Homo-oligomer: A and B are copies of this chain.
Amino acid sequence: MESPLASLLWRSLRVYQIFGANTDVGKTVFTTLLTRTAKKLWKDEKVAFLKPVSTGAEDEADDRHINRFAPGVACNTLYQYDIPCSPHTAAIASGRPIPTDDTLLAKCRDYAAQCATKEKGWLFIETAGGVHSPGPSGRTQADLYIPLRAPSLLVGDHRLGGISQTISAFESLRIRGYDVESVLLFKDETYENYQYLEDYFQKNYGIPVISLSQPPGRHGNPERDAEAMERYYDRKDCGEIMCQVLETLDKVHQTRLSSLDSMATKASQHIWYPFTQQSLVGPKDIMTIDSAHGDYFQTIAPPNQDGQPTNAPVLRSSFDASASWWTQGLGHSNPKLTLAAAYAAGRYGHVMFASAVHQPAMSLAETLLNGMKNPRINRIFYSDNGSTGMEVAIKMGLRAARKRYGWDTNQRLGVLGLKGAYHGDTLGAMDCADPGIYNEKIEWYEGRGYWLDYPTILCKSGEWGVAVTDNLKSSFGEGRNYPSLNDIFDIKAREARGEQKRYEEYITSALQSCKDQGRKFGALMLEPIILGAGGMEFVDPLFQRTLVNVVRKSSHLFGTAVQDASGAAKVPNEWTGLPVVFDEVFTGLYRLGRFTPSSFLGVHPDISVHAKLLTGGLVPLCATLASESIFKVFLSPDKTDALLHGHSYTAHPIGCQVALESVKEMQAMEERGEWNWAKHRGWVAPEATSQDEHKSDVWSIWPHEFVKALSRQTDRVLGVWALGSVLAIHLKDIAGSGYSSNAAAGLRESLDLGRANGEGGPWNVHSRVLGNVLYVMASQVTSETSIKQLSGLLMESIEKGK
């Protein structure tokens, strides 16, 4: 599922989806009773039945049964296959074109939208076979129907073995986020499954189990059989029980709506939001998320100006254009990640990690250490998020430098970094960033370090180039353009031309002047390639590479190494100058198209920090990787020389297992060439892509031509860059740029309006801005189709705002 399909929710229409614990458990009988009773109770309402896929002889099809026994109910079958077997087999055997999942879901939604009139109504959607019976495309129905997110009814299995079938089927739905509102099943007085299940579902989930006597068996005479069924459907107990069920379902619908309607108000009253000035945020500014799937949230659609008609869709599909604060990789609610999380929960829960080890932590360690292809790195330290992982890195770096240079514990140490750095919000991580809007009002903040200026990369007016602000021209010279982004990353060619020389001079002179002032440093700390929270600044990779090289060559500018009793001065892959820390929290693990962004620079850090995409976007986890030489600094016979850091949930098995699954899946995607559509840019005009670019591993899912076209919108656009899944648009701002700028707010609002009625219902783009920068960050599974849709909307929005 890739296209922006809005879930099925209308105020006027109660939609329920009926799943079976097995085939032949009575789904159609229960659906008939539900529709028939609904039609009796709500005479003036529309009561509808939808069978998306039906297999078996047409004259025995479920819609005919409903037509006969539930008169007045609107029936629809989308795909009818005459062969009595699983839909995926029947679809192939039919010889007809096999509908895609997107098409099938869109048709379900279209039918539901037709049913949603201004008057109230009901729609029951009946699936085929069991919950995991494959749909026409071969995807199992439990996976296929997730985006509809209709509340569900599960028809249980009353036969021998049915307790097991019913619970397992329920679990398959539950772990996919379905809300099962009732379990319905026949009473079989031999097995009495209903008694067990009533107790089980009530106790564990508070879900009611409704049981009915079994319908009469068939005896081969169609007329007599039909009469017997008619009598069964007419039974008082059947009607009464269904009445109760429907009344409950009616309430469930109302409760869901009122919960969604009131949530933003409650949130504004009780939630204290991260990084948010709440005096500027009222309930109407709070996005209520009903669920999320793939790249899309399902959010409450804003009411129209003249109030919300009851047949307007309540939800819309919102493209998650911040990748949920830069975390998403494999799509929201990815069943493989869910199963990985649940497996670890089921096997371990959480187990303490000090001097202990478990398989997910060990396997993830090996996968990351190998994946980095960094010969310096040998150790992994787990923590909970990028900020704590950076604090660990700081503690590592400072100690290593202090021991190496023989400074005492009172020596004031700083970090060497870039202006606009951001490493997280805990106080130690904050202190690694230069003073600025993010931190200067924090009471305990104290910028500890020295932060260098740098040249940036942007595509401006269709040309890629190194940009240098006026005040830095004396240091870096004039900016210059390059034929392509690829040429900017062709570091060897640039070094052969001597482009790094001015950088070396600038850096060496800055370090010398720090030395002259008596400043001491414990680490060089960089976000490779992109400074994210600092305003999506794309740093010239040659500058960062040169910085690392100069620092490593310049031990004499930092201190005088002492021979360390711990042997730190003798281990392999030892650092020189300063320990180099790469904060890859945002830019790592394929966000920029590669496993590690350090490969763009052709230099390896001594310490690197990985989070966000690490778990594919599911749960918090961070890994700080370090070299053996850094590790050895902390070895001693004294317990208190250890790295004194730890969190209770360090290396929690769920996080490690999910990260293992995510990292391996992304590696496999690369290997399988799943990003080749973007790497080879098939849908860009061929003349725009040179042979070199085809081969290049510098790539983005945002096509070059689109980036160039955006950058030519010079009325509003200062420049654009795209790399991996990230697109950043730097907008012009008369009042000056930076975090406090509002230049991008208009564009964001335009994206937020989106398409009032796209295919599959309304959709929009939920984007975040950083001052004058609007960025759109896709996931690692975003499709070419989605990128086309987004590009179109972006370009229109930019043009509209002129």
Which of A501-509, A647-655, A784-792 touches B?
A: A647-655
Which of A282-290, A492-500, A556-564 touches B?
A: A282-290
Is A384 engaged at the interface, CB distance under 8 Å to the other chain?
yes
Is A644 engaged at the interface, CB distance under 8 Å to the other chain?
yes
Output the nearest chain B residue to A390 by Cβ-Cβ distance: B426
Complex contact B357–A289 (CB within 8 A): yes
Q: List the B side residues contacting A270 at CB < 8 Å.
A: 362, 365-366, 369, 378-380
Complexed CA–CA distance, A687 and B644 (Å): 47
In chain A between 162 and 205, which residues have their CB closer than 8 angstroms to a CB of chain B?
A: 163-169, 171-172, 174-178, 190-192, 196, 204
In chain A between 332 and 375, which residues have their CB closer than 8 angstroms to a CB of chain B?
A: 332-339, 341-359, 361-362, 365-366, 369
- Across the interface, A168 reaches (CB within 8 A) one of B130, B192, B636, namely B130
Which of A433-441, A597-605, A715-723 touches B?
A: A433-441
Complex contact A343–B174 (CB within 8 A): yes
Q: Tell me how far the C-beta of A778 lies from the nearest C-beta in chain B, rounded to whole angstroms.
A: 14
Is A226 engaged at the interface, CB distance under 8 Å to the other chain?
no
Q: List the B side residues contacting A349 at CB < 8 Å.
A: 292, 324, 328, 331-334, 337, 617-618
With A171-B172, A172-B171, A647-B425 known to touch, is A289 a contact of B177 (CB < 8 Å)? no
Which of A131-139, A243-251, A464-472, A690-698 touches B?
A: A131-139
- A137-178 interface mask toward B, CB cutoff 8 Å, 1 = contact, 0 = none? 010100000100000000000001101111111011011111
- Across the interface, A325 reaches (CB within 8 A) one of B132, B269, B297, B352, namely B352
Complexed CA–CA distance, A646 and B146 (Å): 30
Which of A63-71, A391-399, A451-459, A724-732 touches B?
A: A391-399
Q: Tell me how far the C-beta of A726 lies from the nearest C-beta in chain B, rounded to whole angstroms.
A: 15
Q: List the B side residues contacting A346 at CB < 8 Å.
A: 146, 174-178, 333, 335, 338
Is A26 engaged at the interface, CB distance under 8 Å to the other chain?
no
Output the nearest chain B residue to A445 by Cβ-Cβ distance: B409
In chain A between 77 and 108, which residues have their CB closer than 8 angstroms to a CB of chain B?
A: 84-86, 88-89
Complexed CA–CA distance, A88 and B339 (Å): 29
Complex contact B274–A353 (CB within 8 A): yes
With A133-B163, A271-B379, A443-B413 known to touch, is A279 a contact of B635 (CB < 8 Å)? yes
Complex contact A161–B22 (CB within 8 A): yes
Complex contact A385–B327 (CB within 8 A): no
Q: Tell me how far the C-beta of A147 lies from the nearest C-beta in chain B, rounded to whole angstroms.
A: 12
Output the nearest chain B residue to A426 by Cβ-Cβ distance: B426
Q: Tell me how far the C-beta of A430 lies from the nearest C-beta in chain B, rounded to whole angstroms.
A: 8
Q: List the B side residues contacting A289 at CB < 8 Å.
A: 348, 351, 356-358
Complex contact A620–B637 (CB within 8 A): no
With A130-B161, A289-B358 known to touch, is A652 a contact of B620 (CB < 8 Å)? yes
Is A387 engaged at the interface, CB distance under 8 Å to the other chain?
yes
Complex contact A620–B620 (CB within 8 A): yes
With A177-B343, A339-B174 known to touch, is A357 a contact of B267 (CB < 8 Å)? yes
Q: Tell me how far the C-beta of A370 lies from the nearest C-beta in chain B, rounded to whole angstroms.
A: 10
Task: Quickly give the copy total for this chain.
Answer: 2
Q: List the B side residues contacting A291 at CB < 8 Å.
A: 347-348
- Centre residue among A271, A275, A355, A386 by max chain B CB count within 10 A: A355
Complexed CA–CA distance, A634 and B163 (Å): 55
Complex contact A357–B286 (CB within 8 A): yes
Q: Tell me how far the C-beta of A294 lies from the nearest C-beta in chain B, rounded to whole angstroms.
A: 9
Q: List the B side residues contacting A382 at CB < 8 Å.
A: 274
Output the nearest chain B residue to A647 by Cβ-Cβ distance: B385
Q: List the B side residues contacting A443 at CB < 8 Å.
A: 395, 398-399, 402, 409, 411, 413, 522
Is A305 engaged at the interface, CB distance under 8 Å to the other chain?
no
Complexed CA–CA distance, A637 and B326 (Å): 27
Is A381 engaged at the interface, CB distance under 8 Å to the other chain?
yes
Complex contact B441–A640 (CB within 8 A): yes
Q: Tell me how far the C-beta of A421 lies from the nearest C-beta in chain B, rounded to whole angstroms.
A: 15
- A304-335 interface mask toward B, CB cutoff 8 Å, 1 = contact, 0 = none? 00000000000000001010111110011111
Q: List the B side residues contacting A353 at CB < 8 Å.
A: 273-274, 325
Is A685 engaged at the interface, CB distance under 8 Å to the other chain?
no
Interface size on A, residues (CB 8 A): 173
Q: List the B side residues contacting A709 at CB < 8 Å.
A: none
Complexed CA–CA distance, A167 and B141 (Å): 12
Complex contact A275–B354 (CB within 8 A): yes
Complex contact B425–A431 (CB within 8 A): no
Complex contact B280–A639 (CB within 8 A): yes
Is A57 engaged at the interface, CB distance under 8 Å to the other chain?
no
Q: List the B side residues contacting A168 at CB < 8 Å.
A: 130-132, 165, 168-169, 171-172
Complexed CA–CA distance, A335 and B343 (Å): 10
Complex contact A338–B332 (CB within 8 A): no
Complexed CA–CA distance, A177 and B360 (Å): 12
Is A40 engaged at the interface, CB distance under 8 Å to the other chain?
no
With A163-B133, A355-B285, A620-B384 known to touch, is A338 a contact of B327 (CB < 8 Å)? no
Q: List the B side residues contacting A269 at CB < 8 Å.
A: 378
Complex contact A647–B274 (CB within 8 A): yes
Complex contact A359–B263 (CB within 8 A): yes
Q: List the B side residues contacting A619 at CB < 8 Å.
A: 350, 619-620, 649, 652, 654-655
Q: Tell me how far the C-beta of A329 lies from the nearest C-beta in chain B, rounded to whole angstroms.
A: 10
Complexed CA–CA distance, A752 and B291 (Å): 47
Q: Tell me how far the C-beta of A276 lies from the nearest C-beta in chain B, rounded to whole angstroms.
A: 6
Q: Tell me how far the C-beta of A612 lies from the nearest C-beta in chain B, rounded to whole angstroms.
A: 5
Complexed CA–CA distance, A590 and B778 (Å): 42
21 of the cross-chain contacts (CB-CB < 8 Å) are A130-B165, A132-B167, A133-B163, A146-B346, A172-B172, A263-B357, A270-B380, A272-B381, A274-B645, A277-B638, A280-B637, A324-B350, A333-B345, A334-B349, A338-B342, A411-B443, A427-B427, A444-B448, A611-B648, A619-B619, A619-B654
Closest A-B pairs by Cβ, 6 of them:
A274-B646, A130-B164, A177-B347, A427-B428, A23-B161, A177-B346
11 more contacts with CB within 8 A, not counting A130-B165, A384-B384, A619-B619, are A89-B191, A165-B168, A171-B339, A272-B381, A276-B642, A324-B350, A327-B648, A395-B442, A428-B444, A619-B649, A620-B648
